[in-house]
Every structure is written in C-alpha cells, then in structure tokens.
C-alpha cells in the first residue's frame, strides 16, 4: 500500500427529519447569514425550502434562497448567485439538492470569499486560497459531492461549452444532512442515473494503476455489491426506505475517498477517472445526464484497457459478481456483461446511440474527443493512459 493522506472532515447527520437540525449545524460552523442554493421548483413545492427557512428563522438566522441550478451546472447561473450572495452579505452557503447544487454552492462560496476573482478563474488555474463554509441538505443520491473534495461546472458562455472539475479541500462541506425520505419523490430515471454514478465513483478508484491495497479493495467490492443490490430496488420502489437509505449512504462513501486509499499515494485524484472524463465531454456538448454518459462508455473503455491488467478485471468479476470462470479473459468478459446488466436494470443506456437518440457521426465523435482532450492538449486515465486516438477508438466502440 502506498503512503496516503486521508482527510474527510464533513459531519454526517443521517436519517428521518434530520433537515430540522439545519440551523443548529449552521450555527455550529459559524454561519449567521445563510445564502441557500437549490435547483428546480420541486424543492419549494415539496415544502423543504420553507421548512429550512422556518428552522433558520426560529434560530434568528437571516436567509436568502435562490434556485435555478440545472443538471450539469452552469457558470452563468453561478455568477448570478455570487452577485446575490455578496449583496446579501452571506457568510455561509447552504446547498439543498444533489451534486449539481453542491458543486454550484462550492463555486459560489469560493467566489464570494474572493470577489476579486471571477468564479471560472478557479476552474482555469487560479488557486482557491479561502472560501465560505458550506453545508449540504441532500435530496439526490448520486454525485457524492456532499463528502468529496471535488466540484464540476460547465462554462455555457464558451462556444462550444466546456466542462471542468477542480479538487481541493475548500470544497469540503462542513456538514451534510442526509434524510433518505427526501429522495423518494425523484423520477426513477434520476434514481437510476444516481446509482450508476455511485458505481462509477467506485470503479474509477478500483481500477487504479497501483494495486495491493487489500482492505481498500474489500471496501470497494462491498460497495459495488451493495449498490448493485439496492440500486434496482430503489428504482423499482422509491418508497423503499431501506433501499433508498443504502443508495444514499453508498453515494457518500463512494466519493469520500475510502475506496481509493493507497491506490495512488496522496495525490488529489486517486484512481483512473478516464470514464468520467469521457462522460464529461459528452455532457458538455450534449447536456446529457452525467450517470448515463458513464454507462454508455464503461464497457467500451473496459474492453479497451483490460489487457493492461486482465487479472484486475477478473478479480472484479469474481469478487463482485461471484463469477467462477478460471480463465481471466473469460471472467473479465463475464464481469463486463454483468455490469451492463446492472446498468440496464436501473434504466441506463449502454451505447452512445442509445444515450443521444441518434448514431453519432465520425465528426461528432472527433468533436467529443477534442473536448475530452482539451483540444488535444492532454491525455486521460492511469490504469491505461489514453491519448486522442485511443479516446476516438473508445467512443467509436460504444457508438
């Protein structure tokens, strides 16, 4: 096992009615004027924003709420929120929603703390030196942003749009309120996409360049098995509290770093992450659902890279799915097919044509690959390092 630094400071408050502790936790972490960020009208219609507002009001904490965050969150929206939060003189940012809301909240917190910078500066090289404290009230189990050090934004003002991620410990939420009941009104497609994203956060760390981390492997393999079991149950019956609570906890654990410890030292992006880069390029250009972009490319990526360490894919198949095939190549193929069956069971696409609703042309694939490589200026992955030609080949294989 490689040396590592593990840091996960977020306080988790899990269970029914835990959103009623919002004011208590805001006060605990120094908040006196709270800027609340949320997504669509459902957070208001459900009464959740109203309950949080009342909870804060009873504690004597002023609040200003602003919605409008969309999936694949936009820089243009975040800039408007920065302006409003500065005018409100906010000293605490609270995200109420899923990963898109949390990522926007992180960006807003950084930009309000350093108003001399535009928010996109932090996604293009400016180091985050300070930030406002951030809290999360989770309503979607998927991205794990409530426990991660990462944040992703799409610059919709660029032509074509581009999507970028940053990693730093200022992205860490001070607390995350996690009530599985708040996820029970989600569309089944969104639950399925979340389950796929959770699986993929684990996959990206599991298929790492550095192996031999046995306890880490056991945790990852257990998380795989749990989301494979409960993901379809949650999609089938969103009122199943056991299933929705397992999905929610899997989401946080999948992105808190535990399943990547020792895989690549103390670097901030341990693991492979090629599929996320492949998927982010697709969603930047087509605004596709994040989890669905990952399932569309995973099998093609897996078949393209597996010979870099076929034993790893065979271990995955045997430990996660109980495959008994002794031949490593045959076992790996069985594991890939079982994973595709899981993705299908939660309603996710298995190809680019299924994802986009049309068969992409060679020109479209080349445009996606250009976005993925930042105009052919970078390579991706660590399990097997992929250049522009490799990426084009993978996109064509999952066409």
Q: Is residue 2 part of a domain?
A: no
Q: What is the DSSP string of 31-70?
A: -SSEEEEE-STHHHHTTHHHHHHHHHHHTT--EEEE----
Provide the 3-class DSSP secondary structure of residue 185: coil
CB 35 within 8 A of CB 94: yes
Cis peptide before 160 (omega within 30 of 0): yes
From CA 231, how far away is CA 246, in angstroms rounded? 8
Same-domain pairing of 276 and 213: yes
- List pLDDT tens digits, range 82-108: 999 999 999 999 999 999 999 999 999
Instruction: Return all residues near 358 (Cβ < 8 A) that are at least 6 apart.
Output: none
- Cite the DSSP H helix spans in the chain: 22-28, 42-45, 48-58, 75-88, 99-113, 188-206, 214-236, 241-254, 274-286, 290-305, 310-321, 328-345, 352-356, 362-372, 388-397
pLDDT, tens digit, 9 for 90 and up, residues 334-366: 999 999 999 999 999 999 999 999 999 999 999
212 belongs to a structural domain: yes
CATH code for the domain of 154:
3.40.50.1970
Total domains in the chain come to 2
**Residue 8 pLDDT class (50, 70, 90 cuts):** very high
pLDDT value of position 20: 97
Q: How confident is the model at residue 268 (pLDDT cuts 50, 70, 90)?
A: very low
Averaged pLDDT score across all residues of the chain: 95
**Residue 112 belongs to a domain:** yes
Indicate whether 230 belongs to any domain: yes
Does 219 sit behind a cis peptide bond, omega within 30 degrees of 0 on the bond before it? Answer: no
Domain boundary at 130, 156, 182, which? 182
355 neighbors 349 (Cβ within 8 angstroms): yes
Domain of 250 in residue numbering reads as: 188-397
Quick one: pLDDT at residue 263?
Answer: 58
Which residues are within 8 A (CB) of 279 and not within 5 positions of it... i.e. 6 or more apart?
A: 290, 293, 294, 296, 297
Pick from 353, 133, 162, 322: nearest CA to 228: 322
Report the CATH number that the domain containing residue 369 is assigned in CATH.
Answer: 1.20.1090.10
For position 265, what pLDDT does the model report? 46
Write the CB contacts of 54 (distance below 8 Å, at least 6 apart in sequence): none
CA atoms of 257 and 260, how far apart (whole Å)? 5
Closest by alpha carbon to 164, among 225, 78, 90? 78
Same-domain check for residues 244 and 386 = yes
């Amino acid at each position: 096992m490689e040396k590592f630094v593990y840091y996960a400071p977020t306080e988790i408050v899990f269970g029914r009615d835990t959103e009623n502790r919002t004011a208590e936790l805001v006060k605990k972490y120094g908040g006196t004027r709270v800027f609340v960020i949320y997504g669509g009208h459902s957070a208001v219609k459900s009464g959740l924003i109203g309950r949080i507002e009342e909870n804060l009001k009873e504690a004597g904490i002023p609040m200003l709420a602003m919605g409008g965050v969309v999936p694949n969150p936009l820089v243009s929206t975040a800039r408007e929120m920065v302006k409003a939060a500065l005018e409100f003189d906010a000293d605490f940012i609270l995200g109420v929603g899923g990963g898109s809301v949390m990522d926007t909240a992180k960006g807003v917190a950084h930009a309000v703390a350093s108003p001399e910078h535009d928010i996109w500066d932090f996604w293009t090289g400016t180091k985050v030196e300070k930030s406002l404290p951030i809290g999360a009230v989770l309503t979607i189990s998927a991205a794990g942003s409530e426990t991660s050090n990462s944040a992703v934004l799409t610059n919709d003002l660029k032509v074509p749009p581009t999507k970028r991620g940053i990693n730093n410990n200022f992205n860490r939420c001070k607390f995350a309120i996690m009530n599985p009941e708040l996820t029970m009104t989600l569309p089944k497609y969104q639950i399925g996409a979340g389950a796929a994203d959770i699986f993929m956060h684990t996959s990206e760390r599991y298929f790492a360049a550095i192996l031999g981390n046995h306890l880490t492997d056991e945790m990852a393999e257990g998380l795989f098995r749990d989301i494979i079991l409960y993901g379809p149950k949650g999609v089938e019956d969103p009122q199943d509290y056991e299933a929705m609570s397992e999905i929610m906890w899997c989401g946080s654990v999948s992105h808190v770093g535990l399943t990547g410890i020792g895989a690549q030292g103390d670097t901030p992006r341990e693991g492979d992450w090629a599929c996320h880069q492949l998927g982010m390029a697709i969603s930047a250009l087509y605004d596709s659902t994040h989890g669905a972009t990952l399932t569309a490319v995973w099998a093609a990526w897996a078949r393209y890279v597996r010979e870099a360490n076929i034993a790893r894919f065979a271990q995955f198949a045997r430990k996660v799915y109980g495959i008994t095939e002794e031949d490593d190549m045959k076992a790996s193929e069985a594991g890939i097919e079982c994973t595709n069956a899981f993705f299908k069971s939660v309603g996710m696409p298995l190809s680019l044509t299924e994802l986009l609703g049309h068969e992409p042309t060679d020109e479209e694939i080349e445009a996606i690959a250009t976005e993925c490589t930042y105009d052919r200026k970078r390579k991706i992955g660590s399990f097997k390092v992929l250049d522009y030609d490799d990426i084009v080949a993978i996109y064509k294989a999952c066409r």
